[in-house]
Structure 1
Amino acid sequence: MTAASANLPTTLPGTAAPVRMWLPEQEVEPAALQQLRTIADLPWVHGLRVMPDCHLGKGATVGSVIAMRGAVSPAAVGVDIGCGVAALRTDLVDDDLEDLHALRSAIEAAIPVGFHEHSAPIGDGMLTQLGVRAGTDRFWDGFAALPEKVLGREAKARRQLGTMGGGNHFAELCVDARDSRVWITLHSGSRNIGKEIAEVHIARARGLEHNRHLADRDLAVFLADTPGMDDYVRDVHWAQEYAARSRAIMIGLLRAEVARHWAARGREVAFDLPINCHHNYISIEQIDGEHMIVTRKGAISTREGGLALIPGSMGVGSYIVRGLANPDSFCSASHGAGRRMSRTAARRSFTREDLLAQTEGVECRKDTGVIDEIPGAYKDLHAVMRYQSDLVEPIAHLQTVLCVKG
């Protein structure tokens, strides 16, 4: 254990359910601390674990892991159901990198970003070409069971499968600081359909009688063995699968563009198997000897001890980690660096000149439209990693050389 984490985790006093935090209490914004207390006081909460990248969220804190008995709060997953990351190592090295502006343009043409979408859905034929498992027809059969309000969005959802969206979502090329190997990394979620599904269920939960006297109605829950719970669990699992498939498609598109870029230079590129994991999701897990409903909102699972990606901000890079399955954290770790200021505050605080300085050496957008994603708006990724040295083992530190943003 490092000196930085020697006194972690800390306990948040005065809560009904135990709260353990992998960062000093004084580093948590007051509004987020109050939000954590409100969550821990819900009668269904068995325990709350707080990751070192935590910050204020809608209803539930980003960077929170909540174990509940017989209940689930849709706000504890969030509106970007299944949001997560993927990573893929290539056999390229730093010395192979050239003409990254042309590569960025090709990636931006291949993967729709922001509010854009594919002109037509990606079918099984294209999936096979991209090296992605087929079976989309069977997956889409489940769409008919989703809430009636979203059924008219199927055509849009099909076109948005395999698209990045905006905000903090990205596609990057990074270089491993140890061996100069080049990695592809990606951050994306369930796009508009995930948001629509989440909002339907959050509104339904708010209207239930047992939630009427909650301190924060955004934390409204569904109870086990009720139609509301069954419907939510079914729909959130569908959205999680949508997000995972979407990342797999984009990894395939990125792999194709990278291969094409270097094939034009006489270089064949080899790729390892990809990493693909959620950090906004629900699962049933054994906690303290009981099966409970666990929600992670801005947190990854380390239960299987596999590899995962913990990204920083635009231009800062990421860490490839191996999970240590620490039961004290409900086998969880942070999902990234975490914001230290809101998007509005970032736009007020920084200028384009700041963006140019903080992304020097990175092939990326340098315009005012991405100032809210400037590295200075985020926490120090390296400090976040030090705080969770008992949760994950760093395998590689990746430095960003190319970043595509929505």
Structure 2
Amino acid sequence: MLKRKDLDETPIFKTEDLRNAFYEALHEAYRVGKSDVELKKALKQLASALKPTKVLSGDLKEIFAVAAEKLEQSRANRINFCERKEKAPWKLWGTEKVEAKALEQMDDAVSLPISVGGALMPDAHQGYGLPIGGVLATKGAVIPYAVGVDIACRMRISILDVPCEEFERDRRRFGEVLLRETRFGVGIAFDPGMRVHEVMDDPLWKKPGVLKENFQKARSQLGTSGHGNHFVEFGKLTVEADIDEPTLKIKAGTYTALLSHSGSRGLGQHVANFYSELAAFLHPELPENLKRLSWLELDSEEGKDYWEAMELCGRYAAANHELIHKHVIAALGCGVLGYVENHHNFAWKEEFNGEEVIVHRKGATPAGEGKLGVVPGSMGTPGFIVRGKGNPESFNSCSHGAGRVMSRAAAYRNLKREDMKNFLRAREVTLIGGTLDESPEVYKDINKVIAGQTDLVDVLAKFEPKVVRMAEEKAQWTQRRNKKKAAGEAEVCM
């Protein structure tokens, strides 16, 4: 007999209004002697059919008649894909090293019947569904894959009351604090009770489904960072003119700052995968090139559930950064002069031409008029604090970073770790961990990326990384952790 767990992972069983009808049909099918093989095949046919009432034959057609009718009706009541006479408009910022595939993905996105318009930022490169650096505005619907797998991946910078001279004299101590107070990598967690935040008290965690199922994982990963391009680092912040904003009031000058980049960890991935599969199930009519752009209508049960889950992922990701900064700063024993933070993988309800639209930013930073944001470079190149100009052509957005020009696989084929070390050494950057596929060479020139969006943002400050903490190569991680345990001390390496 098919297990309840296996059935719950089937898209048909992810919608409450269909679940009961299909359970009743399965119960009847088993009563008359149908096998698991027959039923798995029938469920697969029904899930992928444009007309579920037409795909089965014989007694299976009769057994699943009510469920198939409910499924067909649920699809008929939704916005379905049809060819548009004209695609929604979109605009490109910066043409240097923007892949043809990224342009093609953006063109696909604005062909959806729900699309209002879009924009592609100067750090753009190929992604899944919507390109990285893509901005897409839709009407009445949200696209889980256009938000991304790392929901609410975000930035936070804290300006510290530590003189730059003191930081330079004591860099090793700063690195040791990063080693003690941060955790990086897939499945990494702090010991129970070491990181606590009120976000885990949110009543949404008790709602049956993907949030409840991932509560323990989320609690264990609280205050940690992922792998790849996630980091926590100290550096020098140069402020050209006085800044007077609600969260950041500082004079022109040079400061020590703490910068972090990470998201909602395993929670976000599970939420994204669950609702992306559900959206694809609800839109079998989409052609293959648009499957990853399947949407959920916001007035539907599924759309409301996703929006709730996405927003909780946003609060959870913000809590992660808050805890990282809180514990690192406490370990240093210093104060904070101000901070800036922002999501760059998220969807927002915003107004455009007098109407509410859903603005998806997948690797793009909110840049509404007067809004502050952080645009990082790489482990060895600068990042920037920017102020948005509120350009409606970009749907009030700017880039989220430098943008890749080399895939991770290509980096391992073509680059050498020694060259990466030499690059960092020349810029006086201490790297703790870090992988070759995150070498500065795999990214576009951040200065050119910033120069390509002067109509979107003003630069307020420049951040230069100096002590950088990232996930290690897996083999190195194990080796160094064992070495550190044996030596009984932290290891900081170039």
TM-score calculated relative to the size of structure 1? 0.87
C-alpha contact 2:177 2:332 (8 A) present in aligned 1: no
Shift of 1:103: 2.2
C-alpha contact 1:147 1:200 (8 A) present in aligned 2: no
- Helix, strand or coil at the partner of 2:127: coil
Shift of 1:158: 0.2
Shift of 1:253: 1.6
Structure 2 partner of 1:23: 94
Q: Equivalent of 2:221, from 148, 157, 160?
A: 160
> Which stretch of the first structure deviates more once superposed, 101-110 or 244-253?
101-110
> Residue 102 and residue 92 in structure 1: after superposition, are their counterparts in 2 closer, same or farther (change >3 A)?
closer
Structure 2 partner of 1:257: 331
- Helix, strand or coil at the partner of 1:251: helix
Shift of 1:70: 1.6
Structure 1 partner of 2:432: 365
Structure 1 partner of 2:490: none
Structure 2 partner of 1:176: 237
Deviations 1:226-271 (A, max 9, x none): 1121111111111111111111111112212332xxxxxxxxx331
1:95 pairs with 2:158: no
Structure 1 partner of 2:71: none
Provide the aligned length of Structure 1 versus Structure 2. 370
1:120 pairs with 2:187: no
> Which stretch of the first structure deviates more once superposed, 184-193 or 321-330?
321-330
Shift of 1:145: 2.2
Structure 1 partner of 2:304: 230
Structure 2 partner of 1:143: 205
Deviations 1:292-335 (A, max 9, x none): 11111111112251321110011112101111112221111111
Deviations 1:66-90 (A, max 9, x none): 1001221111100000100000111
Distance 2:395 2:236 in 1: 31
Structure 1 partner of 2:275: 201
- Helix, strand or coil at the partner of 1:57: strand
> Residue 163 and residue 88 in structure 1: after superposition, are their counterparts in 2 closer, same or farther (change >3 A)?
same
Structure 1 partner of 2:458: 393
- Helix, strand or coil at the partner of 2:386: strand
1:278 pairs with 2:352: no
Distance 1:175 1:284 in 2: 35
- Helix, strand or coil at the partner of 1:338: coil
Structure 2 stretches lacking a partner, 5+ long: 1-84, 240-252, 472-494
- Helix, strand or coil at the partner of 1:101: helix
Higher helix share: 2
1:34-113 map, 5 Å = 34-97=104-167, 98-113=169-184
Distance 1:167 1:204 in 2: 27
- Helix, strand or coil at the partner of 1:273: strand
Distance 1:298 1:61 in 2: 8
Shift of 1:138: 3.1
TM-score calculated relative to the size of structure 2? 0.72
> Residue 344 and residue 49 in structure 1: after superposition, are their counterparts in 2 closer, same or farther (change >3 A)?
same
C-alpha contact 2:264 2:317 (8 A) present in aligned 1: yes
Amino acid at match of 1:92: V
C-alpha contact 1:71 1:223 (8 A) present in aligned 2: yes
Distance 2:378 2:132 in 1: 16
Amino acid at match of 1:56: Q
- Helix, strand or coil at the partner of 1:314: coil
Q: Percent identity?
A: 33
> Which stretch of the first structure deviates more once superposed, 225-234 or 76-85?
225-234
Amino acid at match of 2:266: N
- Helix, strand or coil at the partner of 1:27: coil
Amino acid at match of 1:175: K
Deviations 1:90-113 (A, max 9, x none): 122321122323321321221111
C-alpha contact 2:348 2:359 (8 A) present in aligned 1: yes
Shift of 1:27: 3.0
Amino acid at match of 2:237: D
Coordinate RMSD, CA, aligned: 1.9
Amino acid at match of 2:349: I
Distance 2:267 2:413 in 1: 31
> Residue 121 and residue 154 in structure 1: after superposition, are their counterparts in 2 closer, same or farther (change >3 A)?
farther
C-alpha contact 1:80 1:194 (8 A) present in aligned 2: yes
- Helix, strand or coil at the partner of 2:420: helix
Structure 1 stretches lacking a partner, 5+ long: 1-13, 125-133, 260-268
Structure 2 partner of 1:8: none
Distance 1:15 1:341 in 2: 34
C-alpha contact 2:199 2:316 (8 A) present in aligned 1: no
> Residue 304 and residue 246 in structure 1: after superposition, are their counterparts in 2 closer, same or farther (change >3 A)?
farther
> Which structure has the greater CA radius of gyration?
2
Q: Equivalent of 1:318, from 383, 401, 426?
A: 383
- Helix, strand or coil at the partner of 1:54: strand
Distance 1:160 1:209 in 2: 33
Structure 2 partner of 1:354: 419
Report 1 or 2 for greater relative contact order, CA contacts < 8 Å, sequence distance ≥ 6. 1
1:185 pairs with 2:259: yes
Shift of 1:384: 0.6
> Which stretch of the first structure deviates more once superposed, 45-54 or 98-107?
98-107
Shift of 1:210: 6.0
C-alpha contact 2:379 2:468 (8 A) present in aligned 1: yes
Structure 2 partner of 1:334: 399
C-alpha contact 1:324 1:391 (8 A) present in aligned 2: yes
> Residue 226 and residue 211 in structure 1: after superposition, are their counterparts in 2 closer, same or farther (change >3 A)?
farther
Shift of 1:277: 1.0
Structure 1 partner of 2:439: 374
Distance 2:380 2:231 in 1: 11
C-alpha contact 2:97 2:405 (8 A) present in aligned 1: no
Distance 2:208 2:110 in 1: 30
